[in-house]
Amino acid sequence: MPAAQTAGTSPASWDEIIARTFKANAVKLTTYVPDKVLTPLIKRLHADDYFTCFPTTREEEAVGIVSGAWMAGMLGAVLMQTSGFATLPNTLASLAVPYQIPLIMVVSERGTLGEFNSGQAMVCRTMRPVLDSLAMEHHTISRHDELEFIVDRSIKQAVATQAAVALILSPLLTGGKVFKA
């Protein structure tokens, strides 16, 4: 809904939209290895009793945890940055894909649109080829007005088809991390 129509309230932030879309789809368990850009979302998930939210020491571990939880009846999501995704191909290919687990990944995109760390820029280039090689659904979200639709429909599709999805949050959506000389 455009901001003008919601008298007296400011438009929802991207992190607020993701949190409420998680809730609407019963995504209760959220695990993460932090990323600067994801900070407002992580804070919001921690602050809301609806969510079980905690950090893990590796992204693989986070994927294992939400996979186990889903098999036991609780839906979850893993939050990470691009470099975290780059640690995952083995786990995706040997756990999420063969066991048909609706793994929901939210990836803060580093390495593009003003990246200042060449390591991040190189890692970023590995992400979509890995997703494509696994035939894994992925969307890059750059527009605020498309965020809720993409997150909501992607979670529903992941659950209905028992297939993983990566929701890549572009700096165009989040503002990204800005280089200060």
Partner 1 sequence: MSKDVKGAGRASNAKIMNRADLTKRLVGKLHKDEAVVGGIGNTNFDLWAAGQRPQNFYMLGSMGLAFPIALGVAIAQPKRHVFALEGDGSLLMQLGCLSTIAAVAPPNLTMVVMDNGVYQITGGQPTPAAGRTDFVAAAQALGLSNSHWAADEEDFERLVGAALTAGKPTLIAARIDAQPAVATTHRDPVQIRERFMRGLGAR
Using the minimum distance from each CB to partner 1, give the nearer residue, 95 or 168.
95
Token pair for 44:
């919001």
12 lines the binding site for partner 1 (CB under 8 A): no
Q: Which residues, in sequence order, are bridge partners of residue 52?
A: 29
Contacts with 85 (C-beta within 8 Å, 6 or more apart), sequence order: 59, 105, 107, 127, 130, 166
> Of 40, 36, 57, 42, which Cα lies nearest the Cα of 109?
36
Stretch that binds partner 1, among 35-43, 54-62, 117-125, 164-172 (CB under 8 A): 54-62
Task: Looking at residues 83 to 102 of the shown chain, list those that interact with partner 1 (rule: CB under 8 A).
Answer: 90-91, 93-95, 98-101
46 lines the binding site for partner 1 (CB under 8 A): no
**In one letter, which amino acid is 56?**
T
Task: For the CB of residue 162, give the shortest distance to partner 1 in the complex, in Å.
Answer: 9
Q: Are 55 and 31 in contact (CB under 8 A)?
A: yes
**Of the candidate residues 24, 39, 50, 54, the single one contacting partner 1 (CB under 8 A):** 54
Which chain residues interact with partner 1 by CB under 8 A? Answer: 29, 52, 54-58, 60-74, 76, 90-91, 93-95, 98-101
